[in-house]
Amino acid sequence: MCRVSNLKGRDFLTVNDFTAAELMAILTFAQELKSSQKAGQAAALLAGKTLGMIFEKASTRTRVSFEVGMYQLGGYALYLNAADMQLGRGEEIKDTARVLSRYLDGIMIRTYAQRDVEELAAYADIPVINGLTDLLHPCQAMADLLTILEHKGKLQGVKVAYLGDGNNMAHSLLLACSKLGIDMAVASPAGYQPAADIVAAAQKNAQASGASVTLTTEPAAAVKAADVLYTDVWTSMGQEAEQSTRVKAFQPFQLNQRLLEQAKAEAIVMHCLPAHRGEEISEEVLEGPQSVVFAQAENRLHVQKAILAKLLA
């Protein structure tokens, strides 16, 4: 089994911190780990290692996939609810980072502000993994790339159409796709498009990879000739007060059968979950034959194992 050591000790805060070759090495390693696990040949690459998992936001997939991933790699994952830590009583992030560095081998954090993850990484002596912030969701984007690679057999030249809010998921997909030569079109209502600095970074990536980055307010334009149709919730955690306004604004962007039929005939449907059926995606599309949503969710486990092993082993 391939063991790439050149990423040891690195943080995983955004895919944009890594080269295309490094991202592909993670994906290749994830495929190897997935095949080994399916064959009942799990490798204890992280025996004796401990990952601290700090949660300020609720989680299903992030917690379970990281915890199971560490177990399968022979390590231990420690769940740390931020409300139960001294962080919840005002201890500074830089102090927490230096203390945890003396107990743990790595930290995964799921929180609100990207700057908090960056400060944690700046003061920690051990790798820090971004499990989600309001700005970025890099581990999910890596699982998405693995899923596309599995179902399309390539990344370069594939077209992804993202429908909906220009949120953390859109941001990480823009950065990841543009790094690896995937064309990406984002269709969002005016006022809900991705952050300008993220778009600029993606466009810079695309110039190097040969990919294209397109922003539009027309869903039909985005899905034309698309290989992958992707959506996410219209209202993220912390935006509940905007629910009714967002539902009205995003209604034309629902991923439904009508839009799916305007993409390539063999297009696949993706959603990072949790899904609000009947809002951002219709029931028939989510449960339809072109949906790879649950395979996509499974790949969180495999790609995060690859990230963990590369950073901590």
Residues tagged active-site: 110, 137, 140, 232, 272, 300
Give the Cα separation of 111 and 104 in Å (integer): 19
If we measure between CA atoms, which residue out of 97, 57, 53, 59 comes closest to residue 71? Answer: 53
Give the Cα separation of 3 and 119 in Å (integer): 29
Residues 24 and 297: beta-carbon distance below 8 Å: no
What angle do helix axes 293-312 and 20-38 make, rounded to 10 degrees? 110
Q: Which residue has the tokens 């397109």?
A: 214
The count of residues in the chain is 313
Residue 203: Cβ within 10 Å count = 15
Prior bond of 274 cis (ω within 30°): yes
User: Is 187 in a helix, a strand, or coil?
Assistant: strand
Distance of CA 26 to the CA centre of its chain: 14
